[in-house]
Amino acid sequence: MRTEVRIWMMNFRIPGGPLTILGPSGCGSDVAVFDEVADTTTITLDETDERVHRLLSVLEERGITAWWESRYDCFTDDELEAARLILMAAHSILDGIFAGPRVGTRYDMSEACKLCGAGARQTSAMVVDGESLHLLEAKRTIHTCYNDILVDEKLAGALAESGATGISFRGVFAAFEKRGHFQLPWRQLCATHTLPRMSPRSTGIQPYKSCSCGRSSFLTPSKFPTRLVYRAADVADSRDVNVTWEWFGEVKFNGDVYDSVLPYPMFLVTPKIWRIFQGAGVTGFDWIPIQVVDE
Ligand SMILES: [Zn+2]
């Protein structure tokens, strides 16, 4: 495993242009990518590269604030193969297709937290926004804005035939205003097993607005690599597909589930599931092995 640092700058907010930053910090075209359309520069460096410190120092010295930093762990295929479980994390949850309670998906809230909605149990097929179907084009897997995982029928078949444990499927419908719901050739991949709480040794996870249930409002800020840790005893009973006990993301819940923004659990899968997604050429997700500790 190695950790990469990505610094992203808005060119027009840098007096003199990005080269006045890149030159003094020793960052050339081997690590910097210019996007002329977006007018941005992205620099990717290994965390141990001394240019990280130089670059951050130059930005600070010059008082430039229009830049953002993310840090993430990169794994080899061998490391992924050897993992007990792997976090399947969408690159950007905001790029997901709009779906869920505000589009018509039904939920049972009888065992959910009354304050944040964590623990909402889906009771219908997944309904997605009919105006967003272009997002499905040329894809075999997509996540919704609530981290539901949708797969095309062929991939659903491959997952089902693999004998993987802990999975079930639901239908996927598109909702069109005034024209009702139409079934799509996609399936929602659902986990039947919820893991116990993760270890407090996990890092890169922060509650942004704690709920008294302790279960929701977790974020994975991009400035820190997401590193999930589980006790060995807590993953002894895991399946090929699992969801976390913790629920992530923004929460806006006032008691009316069909007018709410619900938090969502994250998916943890075995290398067997990772291989099936890899074989299908699926992109758009980070695959991050969990760490397992004795206590
Ligand atoms: Zn709660």
Ligand 1 centroid to residue 115 C-alpha, Å: 5
pLDDT digit string, tens, across residues 97-136:
999 999 999 999 999 999 999 999 999 999 999 999 999 9
Q: Quick one: how far is CA 81 from the chain centroid?
A: 20
CB atoms near residue 111 (< 10 Å)? 8
CA atoms within 13 A on the CB side of 57: 9
The pTM of this model reads 0.92
Task: Say how many Å lie between the CA of residue 109 and the centre of ligand 1.
Answer: 12
The domains of the chain are located at: 2-74, 83-293
Predicted confidence at residue 45, as pLDDT, reads 98
DSSP one-letter string for 212-279:
TTSSS-EE--TTS--B-EEEHHHHTT--SEEEEEEEES--B-SS-GGG-B--EEEEEE-HHHHHHHHH
Question: Is residue 39's pLDDT more than 90?
Answer: yes
Q: Compute CA 205 distance to the chain's CA centroid, rounded to the nearest angstrom.
A: 12
Nearest to 263 by CA among 210, 214, 207, 218: 218
Mean pLDDT of 5-19: 94
pLDDT tens per residue, range 225-264: 999 999 999 999 999 999 999 999 989 998 898 999 999 9
Cα 247 to ligand 1 centroid, rounded to whole Å: 9
80 secondary structure, DSSP code: H
Q: How confident is the model at residue 207 (pLDDT cuts 50, 70, 90)?
A: confident
Q: Which CATH number fits domain 2-74: 3.90.1150, 3.30.70, 1.10.3720, 3.30.530?
A: 3.30.70
The residues whose Cβ lies within 5 A of ligand 1, an ion, are 113, 115-116, 118, 211, 213, 216
CA of 250 to the centre of ligand 1 (A): 12
Ligand 1 center from residue 219 Cα (angstroms): 15
